[in-house]
Chain A
């Protein structure tokens, strides 16, 4: 059965199933969509995922969306190293972490990322073209997000709240990783894959909050995950400077 992943850069939601597939050794077809060129709202892709969100995966006739749910599917449906623990309490822990990141921490990282990177990257284009591109977005929530990023209408209050959450989230990650090697005990799981996608560029994006002095356990964990062959291979699939940021994790860099 053929497996195809529709994704952007190895980063955040796209990177989660990418790294999971590579860790499992799944032979999949990579279909790169340029988020900054609005490829995800073009008819060819909407025929696969009418919501126009990235990533999506096809496996035979099945079409799967929701990156964290796809990760669990990949772990269960394909052979290869197990990325979920056997113990039901530990499995609950992995899911708890993924939900915490997907619904609490990642949106705050993302809001900052969209305000400093995504918005400025597309803002200078023809305004009429941009409005037409926004109008083609299927989900109303995503239209609001793109407008905020393009016109830079984030409120001071919401940016402050995102910074608070990122700061606290980093503290919580450091606390947890000071107790064991990985987020859930001493085995590498989907929770680490999820969190790495959020945190791999921390030493560059939040150098005052996360560095070898303040968060040594996060730094060691990031380097350990970076050193995995699957991580190297996945980040080589990136086409922009965004993915290249991962090199900060080479030991001796930074």
Chain B
């Protein structure tokens, strides 16, 4: 199967997709795009529904024999199903359920929180120096109305205090969940999995932005070091074209609107 991965700097969902590829030893043509400049919307399939309306927002796109796929947690599962060894998920129906349950928590709790804090700290100040016409040109390319709104929010640095506080709260909740899961284990399910990769990828830049969430969380902090030290993660991080890829963010998923 011919695979091409369009990815941003190795952080968040792009770091997940790259790391899973390297862990699995799957060959793919790697093409870096600047997600924070809206380059994803220049791709020929940018208006396909599965790309334009991806819940993840500005994440990587894996093209498999012409089908563009989005949402890094499902790209990870796809790669694990495509090439069964080395296994990156527990090998049972209940293990697969665990992976999906964590993926939901990552998508609803961790990802919007990390994305909000990352965008506010790094992309918003960067965009504030750019001419409005440049920002308008990016937004004009974005097909999804709600994703375009998230671009407008970052361009105006419009992150209400309540949203920031909610992001810190969600992050702390998620780290607490990791701390509990790691009781007596090196990785979340014992053996290393796509869930470790995905959680780490969103969390990599967070100790700096939400330090309180990581205070008194020895197992989580040791796990972060353990995941980061893996050759696959190191190989992905080496693709960075900036000093600290954990500071690279593009508009991600929204906070849930209801319930």
Of the candidates A66, A96, A142, the one whose C-beta lies within 8 Å of that of B74 is: A96
Are A69's CB and B257's CB within 8 A?
no
Known A-B contacts A91-B81, A96-B74, A107-B256; A69 and B107 likewise in contact (beta carbons under 8 Å)? no
Contacting pair B259 A142 (CB below 8 A): yes
**Number of chain B residues whose Cβ lies closer than 8 Å to a Cβ of chain A:** 33
Q: In the assembled complex, which residues on chain B have CB atoms less than 8 Å from the CB atom of A65?
A: 101
CB contact under 8 A between A64 and B97, given known A88-B82, A89-B67, A100-B53 = yes
- As a 0/1 sequence over residues 158 to 177 of chain A, the CB contacts with chain B under 8 angstroms (1 = contact) are 10011011000000100110
A69 adjacent to B97 (CB under 8 Å): yes
- Residue of A with least CB distance to B64: A89
List chain B residues, Cβ under 8 A from A176: 49
Complex Cα distance A172/B257, Å? Answer: 20
A103 interfacial contact with B, CB 8 Å: yes
Contact indicator B101/A95 (Cβ below 8 Å): no
Would A99 and B258 be within 8 Å (CB), given that A72-B100, A89-B78, A91-B78 are in contact?
no
Pair A73/B78 contact, Cβ less than 8 Å: no
Interface residues of B in 96-150 (CB under 8 A from A): 96-97, 100-101, 104, 107-108, 145-146
In the complex, the number of residue pairs spanning A and B with C-beta atoms less than 8 Å apart equals 92
The listed residue (B54, B65, B257) touching A161 by CB distance below 8 A is B257
Question: B145: which A residues are within 8 A, CB to CB?
Answer: 164
Whole-angstrom distance from the CB of B51 to the nearest CB of chain A?
10
B77 close to chain A: CB less than 8 A: yes
Taken together as a complex, chains A and B put the C-alpha atoms of A111 and B93 apart, in Å, by 32
Interface size range on A against B: 35 or more
Q: Would A99 and B94 count as touching, CB distance under 8 A?
A: no
**Which of B54, B67, B82, B259 counts the most A-chain CB atoms under 10 A from its CB?**
B259
Contact of A88 among B78, B253, B259 (CB under 8 A): B78
Whole-angstrom CA separation of A165 from B74 in the bound complex: 23
Is B78's CB under 8 angstroms from A66's CB?
no
Indicate if A14 sits at the interface (CB-CB under 8 A): no
Partner of B257 from the list A64, A91, A96, A158 (CB cut-off 8 Å) is: A158
Measured CA separation A110–B70 after assembly (Å): 25
Question: Contacts A95-B74, A142-B259, A172-B49; is A89 near B100 (CB within 8 Å)?
Answer: no
The distance in angstroms between the C-alpha atoms of A191 and B196, with both chains bound, is 27
Q: A88-B78, A92-B77 are in contact. Are A73 and B93 (CB under 8 A)?
A: yes
Judged by a CB distance under 8 angstroms, whether A76 is at the interface is: yes
How far is B50's CA from A152's CA once the two chains are assembled, in angstroms?
Answer: 34
- Lowest 9 A-B CB distances belong to which pairs? A69-B100, A77-B93, A107-B258, A76-B93, A73-B97, A145-B259, A88-B81, A92-B78, A111-B258
Q: List the interface of chain B (C-beta within 8 A of A).
A: 49-50, 53-55, 64-65, 67, 69-71, 74-75, 77-78, 81-82, 93-94, 96-97, 100-101, 104, 107-108, 145-146, 253, 256-259
Q: Can you give 15 contacting A-B residue pairs, CB < 8 Å? A: A66-B104, A68-B104, A69-B100, A69-B104, A73-B93, A88-B81, A91-B77, A93-B50, A99-B107, A102-B104, A107-B258, A111-B258, A158-B257, A162-B257, A172-B53
